[in-house]
Amino acid sequence: QAQLVESGGGLVQAGGSLRLSCAVSGSLFSPKAMAWYRQCPGKARELVATITSGGGANYADSVEGRFTISRDNAKSTVYLQMNSLKPEDTGVYYCNLGRRYSPPYIPSEYWGQGTQVTVSS
């Protein structure tokens, strides 16, 4: 049904920025919340940021003030602008389609393939 494709990952020095994109197909984007997760080396997959259908955002404490999640419903795309990147931000970032319209965020079975983000010192 739905397909999610992430892009924008790469290698960046500490303090730099990256912008991740997640394009969604299957007509399942606009009525649901969306989220970015990440899996860092040696750690469990964690929720990074969520955004409601109306654009309300929530962030993990570790990225608050540095990352910004946004969405463009006309393009069926969600973004994650990552600024002031730290080495501990290194990991694989995944986009997920939510099952609800508002918090708490409940992930669905629809995930992207992931995009690697590497932050060097």
Ranges assigned E (strand) in 8-45: 10-13, 18-25, 34-39
Q: Strand order of the sheet with strand 3-7?
A: 3-7, 18-25, 77-82, 67-72
pLDDT in tens, 31-82: 689 999 999 999 999 999 999 988 899 999 999 999 999 999 888 899 999 9
* Encoded amino acid at 106, one letter: I
CA atoms within 13 A on the CB side of 102: 1
pLDDT in tens, 68-80: 999 998 888 999 9
Q: Which two tokens stand for residue 15?
A: 């303090």
46, 78 Cβ separation under 8 angstroms: no
pLDDT in tens, 101-115: 778 899 999 999 999
How far apart are the C-alpha atoms of 21 and 7, rounded to whole Å? 5
